[in-house]
Amino acid sequence: MTLDTLTGWARRLQAREISSRELTELYLGRIERLDSGINSFVTVTRDEALAAADAADQRLAKGERAPLLGLPVAQKDIFCTRGVRTSCGSRMLDSFVAPYDASVVERMNAAGAVMLGKTNMDEFAMGSSNETSHYGPVRNPWDPERVPGGSSGGSAAAVAARLAPAATGTDTGGSIRQPAAFCGVTGLKPTYGRVSRYGMIAFASSLDQGGPMAASAEDCALMLNAMAGFDPRDSTSLQRPDEDFTAGLDRDLKGLRIGLPREYFGDGLHPEVRRAVQDALAVLRERGAEPVEISLPNSGLSVPAYYVVAPAECSSNLARYDGVRYGHRCSDPRDLMDLYTRSRAEGFGAEVKRRIMIGTYVLSAGYYDAYYLKAQKVRRLIAEDFRRAFGEVDVIAGPTSPELPFRLGEKSADPVSMYLSDIYTIAANLAGLPGLSMPAGTVGSLPVGLQLIGNYFDEARLLNVAHQFQQETGWHQRMPAAFA
């Protein structure tokens, strides 16, 4: 059977050309046959998926409609899922079975989605390569010797290999957009507060945001329709009017002002990535968009500011994992202090420990003002840069990552080099802005992503621009040969 997009399958389900059970069995079969080569899933919920598919078929037979009715999707293993292990890629939560559904899971279930399973990820979403997972690294479907990006690398790899037509991800500093670029799929980080964080295991609470990953912008719009919405259980959730993100996809781009930051095209950008991004921007110009050179003068400070703010919040959020209430507990502790120290030492991996230690240091007496407070002031400057830029332009565009997918193990011993792979994505999280990455070309067989950043609550415009680009090009339709 020819594989289709999420929206394509939705049309075929409504036309009764295929049943949800047949569709679900198709993807479960692909996971069983092909996932061993990329390790994108940590849990496959076969029985639950087939039961949900049968229920969806009954609803479809009655003529019912829902945004994702009968459509199989994958959930990143950071979202609590009732009765299913939710590990966050960590030994610390290897045995944790969530007693409730995260808001995102709840909303997607209500929209009729069929969950295929939980996808692999960097431990507690800390990483840019999906190599820090307790369950082993995820491999890039385009080249299994290379990383898929992180921390949502499992979701990106599963969508790229067509083991799922769509998946959820989370983005704290680029963790939807960077793996989307490395794996040649479309990924959207919504405005902070647009999608509820209730039941999404916290890394850095002022930065984390859930979002969709799929082959196309049209698919991401369909997913966002189900995911977005106010949630009173999340104190950072924002009340907004309901919006249909598919409604404006076909608007033309005539007169659209696209800002091109000088800082995103300078030193450090791989020359072939630059070429692919410039070719993609030429397509948008042909569709009527107008390029405008702009400056984001404080963007170079985004990485150091982020790696103060995010570890500080990580240190606070991960303090709850102490071996007492839930999570990994060491065997035969001598006393309470031994229980705490050994449980945390055994449960957390090296990258998580590194960030906890950095965060504890910058929050400590004598260093709070010198590091954490200063980073928050820089964060405000970065947000002000964007505010001024959006007075001149409608959308900001540039490369998603300065480099191509790197080889497994290539940067494991150099965390600073790893952190710099997110240099173009982090600023949007610090400012709380929406950002999207879409496939924009290749270098050899490796994908290149074009990033679009929008003003607050302007996801519909980002999806519109991406959709218009994808109407003109076929990069989002490409599949790795080994998975075709």
For residues 92 and 447, what is the distance between their CA atoms, to the nearest angstrom? Answer: 34
Active-site residue, from 40, 103, 151, 302: 151
Active-site residue, from 19, 90, 129, 175: 175
For residues 88 and 314, what is the distance between their CA atoms, to the nearest angstrom? Answer: 14
For residues 291 and 285, what is the distance between their CA atoms, to the nearest angstrom? Answer: 7
Question: Which residue's structure tokens are 């899922």?
Answer: 81
Helix then strand then coil, in percent of the chain rounded to 5, is 45, 15, 45
In 3D space, the residue among 450, 460, 454, 464 whose CA is nearest the CA of residue 432 turns out to be 454
Element (H, E) at 140: none
| Positions of E strands within 182-330 | 186-189, 210-214, 257-261, 290-294
Q: Is 129 a catalytic residue?
A: no
Give every CB contact of residue 313 below 8 A, 6+ residues apart in sequence: 202, 203, 204, 205, 206, 207, 359
For residues 251 and 36, what is the distance between their CA atoms, to the nearest angstrom? Answer: 41
Active-site residue, from 76, 118, 189, 411: 76
Q: Is 374 a catalytic residue?
A: no
Question: Which residue's structure tokens are 């496939």?
Answer: 439
Buried b (16+ CB within 10 A) or exposed e, 244-261: ebbeebeeebeebebbbb
In sequence order, the β-bridge partners of residue 397 are 452
3-state secondary structure of 50: helix
In 3D space, the residue among 198, 152, 157, 156 whose CA is nearest the CA of residue 173 turns out to be 152
Q: Pairing relation of β-strands 290-294 and 257-261?
A: parallel
**Is residue 181 within 8 Å of 149, Cβ to Cβ?**
yes
Instruction: Write the burial class of residue 432 (CB in 10 Å: 0-12 exposed, 13-18 middle, 19+ buried).
Output: buried
3-state secondary structure of 121: coil
Q: Is 87 a catalytic residue?
A: no
Question: Could you list the active site residues?
Answer: 76, 151, 175
